[in-house]
Chain A
Amino acid sequence: MIIADRKPLAELLEMIQDCDRILILGCKGCVTVCNVGGAKEVGILASALKIARKKEGRTLEVDERTLERQCDPEYIEQVKNEVGDYDAVISMACGVGPQFLSTAYPEQRFYPAVNTTSFGGAVQHGVWEERCAGCGQCVIHYFGGMCPIARCSKSLLNGPCGGSAGGKCEISKDVDCIWDMIVRKKTEQGRLEDLLDVKPPKSWDTARDGGPRRSVREELVQ
């Protein structure tokens, strides 16, 4: 899923400083699963903004709503009758949501409440980690089911750099060295030879480097 982190309250207050009435729009997709932008977090943010405003001696009217998804025009359309009633709308979806909203309702201002960070999953309760870089040409099967493009700080394809120590990456003790994990797994499997060929340079033309990506399923296009 898409992982995101909430923006600091001060940044959000700054965004809406000239607003008296706002709508906070949550999303029931990925951001609900990673506990950052679902109905619950919409409620928490609404309270936090109102309290902060009260401290400033001003009031803020906040309505709350959470859509099924914000990456689909079908659901974006559900707010068409109310979206114009506010000074601004804060979207708690990933970076996709406020863009779909902005396109659908060009008159309104939409602010992102979260910083979208990565594609990943929960490794324990309350902790999410990146797993995929969306490079457009999956190669994890060469590396014991682990992606060195997303998970090695240098996206190395030919083994661990000289900074790997104690199973950790040179950039931080909080970051696992994925190459340490790949080598260990292949060694345990008795398949170390899989890592001995020199992997050629990757083509990044399917990644973001090749320009914005577009996926088309001909059978669905009407």
Chain B
Amino acid sequence: MSDLKSGSNLEKVLKAGHFAFTGECGPPKGANVEHLKEKVAHLKGMVDAVNVTDNQTAVVRMSSWAASTIMLQEGVEPNFQMVCRDRNRLAMMSDILGVSAMGIRNMLCLSGDHQRFGNHPQSKNVYDIDSMQLIALAKKMRDEGRFLNDEEIDVPPRLFIGAAANPFAEPHEFRPYRLAKKVEAGADFIQTQCIYNMDRFRAFMKRVVDMGIHEKCSILAGVTPMKSVGMAKYMGKMVPGMDVPDELIQRLQGAGKGKVAEEGIRFALEQIEEFREMEGVAGVHLMAIEWEHRVPEIAERAGMLPRPRV
């Protein structure tokens, strides 16, 4: 297995041809390590790696690298997220070296939500480089052993490099090209935005497969079970780039009182079943937002357990 880029569990699972399953965990709004460990415990053994969000929705939280390190200590593999909003290239490179030194082996490169959405809208954003350039930077550091300025790195980082794709953002016809660019820049794996509009996702994947992009990277389909009708409506209306069809909202409404969450999980399970068979999809990224304790049940019912040992 010497040809592994990072040696991460996620990389090994994908390389061995398994259908990957990743989770997500937001760091606490504080230094509450116990709460973080509690959330992480629900995910242990249930997924191949867990995304650790980086000040998601521009709300300040425990740093993603620190939370990733705690996760690692708890025996769960983190997928360290880094956004371009909060760091310039110096901070990015030093954090990339830092996380690699701590044994973190997956990194997801993102633009990041604009700070206007967050709890410090007065802040100055950075955007020294964009997510595409961050992917290329991480790859250069890993594969060439050089910093952005071409200086040599004394022990390069080892990272499995990830990126996001949002098939539902506009302009729709450009999205496969943007994905192709991210792969060209160096993304080893892709995690998509939460999928609710299956028709649009099928069309997106068909285009991706026609372009042969799926052969150059592993694409994980994003799934977030709806907990309530209110959540579905909120996500459809308020979250940028999210596409929640009316039929899904009607389906949840039709489930009846006390049964909406179960209906949301059922929809997610149907999605996962379809993704398993869909050409070009190499796994599922389950973003059970503040619902970590339901992940074992979802993983079990989706037939994802036990997770492969590679």
A residues near B (Cβ < 8 Å) are: 153-167, 170-172, 177, 180, 183-184, 187, 192, 195-196, 198-202, 204
Q: How far is the CA of A177 from the CA of B111 in the complex (A)?
A: 15
Which residues of chain B come closer than 8 Å to A156, judged between CB atoms? Answer: 111, 127, 130-132
Q: How far is the CA of A11 from the CA of B47 in the complex (A)?
A: 57
Residues A162 and B169 in contact, CB atoms below 8 Å apart = yes
For B127, give its contact among A154, A162, A172 (CB under 8 Å). A154
B residues near A (Cβ < 8 Å) are: 84-85, 89, 111-114, 116-117, 125, 127-133, 136-137, 148, 164-166, 169-171, 173-174, 177-178, 180-181, 184-185, 193, 240-241
For B111, give its contact among A154, A195, A200, A201 (CB under 8 Å). A154
Residues A192 and B177 in contact, CB atoms below 8 Å apart = yes
A66 to chain B, nearest CB (A): 34
Residues A198 and B136 in contact, CB atoms below 8 Å apart = yes
For A201, give its contact among B128, B181, B193 (CB under 8 Å). B128
Residues B132 and A162 in contact, CB atoms below 8 Å apart = no
Q: Looking across the interface, which residue of chain A has its beta carbon closest to that of B130? A: A156
Q: Looking across the interface, which residue of chain A has its beta carbon closest to that of B166? A: A162
Residues B173 and A187 in contact, CB atoms below 8 Å apart = yes
Which residues of chain B come closer than 8 Å to A202, judged between CB atoms? Answer: 129
Q: Looking across the interface, which residue of chain A has its beta carbon closest to that of B165? A: A162
A112 to chain B, nearest CB (A): 20
Which residues of chain A come closer than 8 Å to B85, judged between CB atoms? Answer: 154
Which residues of chain A come closer than 8 Å to B113, judged between CB atoms? Answer: 163, 170
Q: How far is the CA of A147 from the CA of B111 in the complex (A)?
A: 18
Which residues of chain B come closer than 8 Å to A184, judged between CB atoms? Answer: 171
Q: Knowing that A163-B240, A170-B117, A195-B174 are A-B contacts, what are 12 other residue pairs whose CB atoms are under 8 Å apart, sorted by A's residue number?
A: A157-B132, A159-B132, A160-B170, A160-B171, A161-B111, A161-B131, A163-B113, A163-B114, A165-B240, A192-B174, A201-B137, A204-B128
Residues A183 and B171 in contact, CB atoms below 8 Å apart = yes
Residues A164 and B130 in contact, CB atoms below 8 Å apart = no
B217 to chain A, nearest CB (A): 15
Which residues of chain A come closer than 8 Å to B116, judged between CB atoms? Answer: 153, 171-172
Which residues of chain B come closer than 8 Å to A196, judged between CB atoms? Answer: 177, 180-181
Q: Looking across the interface, which residue of chain B has its beta carbon closest to that of A155? A: B127
B87 to chain A, nearest CB (A): 13
For B181, give its contact among A154, A159, A180 (CB under 8 Å). A159
Can you give 27 contacting A-B residue pairs, CB < 8 Å?
A154-B84, A154-B125, A156-B111, A156-B130, A157-B130, A158-B130, A158-B133, A159-B132, A159-B177, A160-B178, A161-B111, A161-B241, A162-B111, A162-B241, A163-B169, A164-B169, A165-B170, A167-B170, A170-B113, A170-B117, A180-B171, A187-B171, A198-B136, A198-B184, A198-B185, A200-B136, A201-B128
Q: Given A156-B111, A162-B164, are A198 and B171 neighbors across the interface (CB < 8 Å)?
A: no
Residues A183 and B129 in contact, CB atoms below 8 Å apart = no
Which residues of chain A come closer than 8 Å to B177, judged between CB atoms? Answer: 159, 192, 195-196
Q: How far is the CA of A27 from the CA of B309 in the complex (A)?
A: 73
For A159, give its contact among B136, B178, B240, B241 (CB under 8 Å). B178
Which residues of chain B come closer than 8 Å to A171, judged between CB atoms? Answer: 114, 116-117
Which residues of chain B come closer than 8 Å to A177, judged between CB atoms? Answer: 170
Residues A157 and B133 in contact, CB atoms below 8 Å apart = yes
Q: How far is the CA of A196 from the CA of B133 in the complex (A)?
A: 13
B123 to chain A, nearest CB (A): 13
Which residues of chain A come closer than 8 Å to B137, judged between CB atoms? Answer: 201
Residues B170 and A166 in contact, CB atoms below 8 Å apart = yes
Which 9 interchain pairs have the tightest Cβ spacing? A162-B166, A170-B240, A163-B240, A158-B132, A162-B241, A201-B129, A156-B130, A162-B169, A161-B111
Give the residue among B127, B133, B170 with the most A Cβ atoms within 10 A: B170
